[in-house]
Amino acid sequence: MQIRIDNASGRPVYQQIIDQIKRDIALGRLIKDEKLPTVRQLAAQLAINPNTIAKAYRQLEGEGIIVTRPGSGAFIANLDSNLSRAVRKRLLSDELERIAVEAFHMQIDRQTLLEWFNNAVEKFNVPSKKGQSDG
Amino acid sequence: MLTLIRREIRDHIVYFIAAVVFSAILIALLTAAAYHFESSESAVFVGLSIPMLVILVLGFSAMGVTQMYLDRNRRISAFLSALPVTRSRILTARIVAGLLAILIVLVPLAIAAIILGRLIAPPIPIFAGYIADILTTIFLMVLACYCLGLLTGWTANKIAPTFGALGLNLVLVSLVFVKGFGPDIKFLLVLVIVACLIRTWHKFMSTSL
Amino acid sequence: MDDNVIKVENLVKYFDGRCVLDGINLTVPRGCIYGLLGRNGAGKTTIIRILLGTEPATRGRTLLLDTESTNLSPGIRGRIGCVAEGHNLIQNYRVNRIIKLCKDLALHWNDESFDHLIETFRLPMDRRVKDLSMGMRAQLNLSLAMAIDPELLILDDPTLGLDTVARRQFLELAIEVIQKQGRTILFCSHILSDVERIADRIGILAAGKLVVDCPLEQLKERVKKLRIIFPESPPENLYLTEIVNQQIHGREMTVTVANWNKQKQSILETFKPSSCTEIPMSLEDIFIECTRPGTEPV
C-alpha cells in the first residue's frame, strides 16, 4: 500500500490517509478482506506519528470501511456496507453540495458538470445499479 | 568518578610526564647532594634546588591554570553537564588529578630523602624531623600555587590568568623564603589553599556554562 | 505520580532587561511528541536551556520528570537524552573518545542500537569532532542521545545541517523511539513538514508567549482562513471573536479565525457576503499567520 502525505495540503494528515485508502479501495487496489499494515508498521514506513495512523484507522472503522479483528489486525470490510442508507446519503450529500457550490463559483454549467461527473463514475467503476459492475 | 579522573589525566598527560621526569631529576640532585655532603660541591646542589623549586611551583600553577582555562575554552564542562554527572564531581576529579601529579613528584622524593637519610646521615632525630618539615612545607606551597592556578584559570581571558597566577605565586614563594619552613608559614599556606578552593568551587558551581 | 513529563509554570525570562519569555505555561504528557515552533529568536532555545538547567529562569519554574530543572540529579539526567543547539561536543576529541566517555558515564547504554546508528550514519571513528561536517556532528549528537535509551528526548533543532536522507532517517528514528512504551519527545524545528508528520501537539512561540498550544489535528480544524467577498465594501467590524488576522482589499476580505464554529458561521452570514470560500492552510500557513506581530493567542 503506497500512501503519500502532501504537506502543502490543507487537509490534516490523518484525513489524507483516509482519503487515500478509500481511493485505493475504489480503484480496486485494495480488496475485501485484504490485510492492512498495522499502525506500527505504517508509522515506521511513513515516518508518521502512530497516533495519526491510529486515528485514521479508527475513523475508517467507524465508517465501516475497515474492521479490526483483535490479535489479527485491520482488514478491508465487506463493502456491502452495514451503514444505513441515511448515513451514506448524508456523507455523500455533503460532498455533492460542496461540488455544486464550487461549480457555481467557477461558472460551470450543469451539462458540463454532469459530463465530468460521468467520467469520474466511469473511471472508478461505480455500478449503475446496486449489484452490477460495468465493463 | 574514575572516568572523569582518567579524562583529566589524559587531557593533561604532558604535566604528568613532566612530573615523573622532574621527580627523577630532583632525586638525582638530592642523591648527588647527599653523597657530596662533606665537600664544598654540596653548595652547588643546594643552590640548584632553589630554581628547581621555583620551576616546580610555577609548573603546578600552570597546570591548574591550564586545567581550568581549557575547560572554559573548549566547553568541556558544558558538554559533561549534559551527561549524568554533577559539577561537583567534575571539579573534584580535576583537583584529584592535580593532587596526583603533585604526589608523583613529591612522594618518590620523600622516599628518596628518607632512604638517603638512613644511609648517609647520622641517626639524629632532629634531622629526620627537619626533612619532614621541609617536605611538608614544599608540599603545601606547591599545592597552594596549584590552587591559585585553578582559581585564576577559570576565566575566558588569556592574559589575566597567566600574569595573575605568576604574580601571586611569586608572592607566595618569596614569603616562604623570607619566613623559612616554620609552623606559621604552614598555617598561612593552608589558609591560602582553603580560601582558593572555596572560591574556585563557588565560581565553578555558579557560572552559567 | 504525575504523568506530565515536562511542566513549565509561568515561566518568565529577561535577558538584559529585554523580556524573552512572558509567562509560558506548558505541559507535555508522557508518550507525546511535542513540536515547539517559533521564528528565530522567539525563545525556543531559551526554554530548552532553562528546562535542562543550563540557564536560570527569571521567574516561574520548570520540571522534568517531576524534578525541578535547577536540581536535576545525575539519576534523572541519565534518563534524558538531549541534543543542544549548535551540537555541543568537545571539539578536539576524536569521535571514538567522545563515545567512550559518554558510554562510561551513562547509566544505561544500548550497544546494539548505538552501533546500528553509527553504521546507518556512517560516522568515522577516527576523525576529530572539529573535522566533522555539521551534519555529522548532528548525527553523532543524536546517536549519543538515543544510545542511552532515554525516557525523554529533548531536541533543539535536531535536523540542522542534515541532508534530506539524514533528515528522513531522523524522523524514522523518532518514530522508533516513540513506539516504545512511555517515551516522550520535545523538539524544535524550522522544517514544518517534518513537524507535521510526527508531532502530536504543537506549540507556537511568538512575542514571548505561547500563541498556540494544542493537538496538531485540532489546529488545522480550528484555524480557518476565509476569503469573503462582499457586494459593497466590507463591514468595519465583523463581530467575530478570535480573529488572528484580517486583511481588506477592495470588496474582498481575507480573515483568519481561530476556533471556527457554526456560531461564527451564522454571524458571518448576517453580513450577507456574496461568497465565502475557505482557503486551505498548511501548517506553514498557520505558522506564518500566528507569528505575525500583533497576533492574539489562539
pLDDT at A135: 40
Residue written as cell 564531581?
A: B89
The answer to whether the Cβ–Cβ distance between C88 and B82 falls below 8 Å is yes
Interface of A with C in 88-107 (CB under 8 A): 105
Please tell me which of the candidates B83, B208, B209 has its beta carbon nearest to residue C105: B83
Task: For Cα atoms B149, B207, B190, give the angle at the middle one, nearest 5 degrees.
Answer: 35
3-state secondary structure B176-207: HHHHCCCHHHHHHHHHHHHHHHHHHHHHHHHC
Q: Across the beta sheet with C4-15, what order do the strands follow? A: C18-29, C4-15, C59-64, C67-68
Q: On the CB side of C176, how many CA atoms lie within 13 Å of its CA? A: 12
pLDDT at B38: 64
ipTM of the complex: 0.81
Please tell me which of the candidates A7, A11, A40 has its beta carbon nearest to residue C179: A40
CB contacts of C280 in chain A (<8 Å) are 9-11
The answer to whether the Cβ–Cβ distance between B78 and C54 falls below 8 Å is yes
Please tell me which of the candidates C33, C172, C193 has its beta carbon nearest to residue A7: C193
Q: Does C96 touch chain B (CB under 8 A)?
A: no
pLDDT at B91: 93
In chain A, the percentage of residues whose pLDDT exceeds 90 is 10
Per residue in B81-96, pLDDT (tens digit) is 888 988 889 999 999 9
Asked if C143 and C116 count as a contact pair (C-beta separation under 8 A), the reply is no
Asked if C48 and C188 count as a contact pair (C-beta separation under 8 A), the reply is yes
pLDDT at B123: 61
**What whole-number distance in Å separates Cα of residue C101 and Cα of residue C144?**
11
Per residue in B92-125, pLDDT (tens digit) is 999 999 999 999 998 998 888 888 777 776 666 6
Does the pTM surpass 0.90? The reply is no
Cβ-based contacts under 8 A for chains A and C: 63
**What whole-number distance in Å separates Cα of residue C14 and Cα of residue C19?**
4
Cβ-based contacts under 8 A for chains B and C: 43
**What whole-number distance in Å separates Cα of residue B81 and Cα of residue C69?**
13
- B157: containing domain: 2-206
At residue A134, does pLDDT exceed 50? no
- Mark the ranges of chain C whose per-residue pLDDT is less than 70: 1-2, 86-87, 294-298
**Phi and psi angles of residue C265, each rounded to the nearest 5 degrees, phi first:** -60, -50
The answer to whether the Cβ–Cβ distance between A10 and C220 falls below 8 Å is yes
Cβ count within 10 A of residue C121? 18
Residue of chain B with shortest Cα separation from C91: B74
pLDDT at C297: 65
* Residue C238, CA distances (Å) to A68, B42, C246, C273, C294 in order: 47, 103, 10, 11, 18
CB contacts of B74 in chain C (<8 Å) are 90-92
* Chain B: partners with 3+ C-beta pairs within 8 Å: C
* Helices A13-26 and A50-62, packing angle to 10 deg: 50
Average pLDDT value for residue range A12-16? 84
pLDDT at C97: 92
Residue of chain A with shortest Cα separation from C224: A10
CB contacts of C54 in chain B (<8 Å) are 78, 81, 208-209
Please tell me which of the candidates B75, B85, B208 has its beta carbon nearest to residue C105: B85
**What whole-number distance in Å separates Cα of residue B101 and Cα of residue B108?**
12
> Residue C268 corresponds to which amino acid?
L
pLDDT at A26: 73
In chain A, the percentage of residues whose pLDDT exceeds 70 is 82
pLDDT at B114: 81
* Chain C: partners with 3+ C-beta pairs within 8 Å: A, B
Average pLDDT value for residue range B9-21? 92
Q: Does C283 touch chain A (CB under 8 A)?
A: yes
Per residue in B17-73, pLDDT (tens digit) is 999 998 998 888 888 777 776 666 666 776 777 788 888 888 898 899 899 988 888
pLDDT at B124: 64
Could you give the dihedral angle defined by the CA atoms of residues A110, A114, A120 and A122, in that order, rounded to the nearest 10 degrees? -170
Asked if B64 and B146 count as a contact pair (C-beta separation under 8 A), the reply is yes
Residue written as cell 485540532?
A: C218
* Residue A13, CA distances (Å) to B181, C29, C58, C155, C169 in order: 81, 22, 39, 23, 20
Domain count, chain B: 1
DSSP state of A37: P
**What whole-number distance in Å separates Cα of residue C105 and Cα of residue C88?**
17
Please tell me which of the candidates C84, C92, C107 has its beta carbon nearest to residue B82: C84
At residue A123, does pLDDT exceed 70? yes
The answer to whether the Cβ–Cβ distance between C106 and B83 falls below 8 Å is yes
* Chain A: partners with 3+ C-beta pairs within 8 Å: C
Per residue in B137-157, pLDDT (tens digit) is 889 989 998 998 888 888 767
pLDDT at C203: 93
How many Å separate Cα C295 from the centre of its chain? 19
Asked if B90 and B77 count as a contact pair (C-beta separation under 8 A), the reply is yes
Q: Which of A105-114, B182-191, C40-49 has the lowest mean pLDDT?
A: B182-191
Q: Give chain C's mean pLDDT.
A: 87
pLDDT-derived band at A82, boundaries 50, 70, 90? very low
Q: Give chain B's mean pLDDT.
A: 83
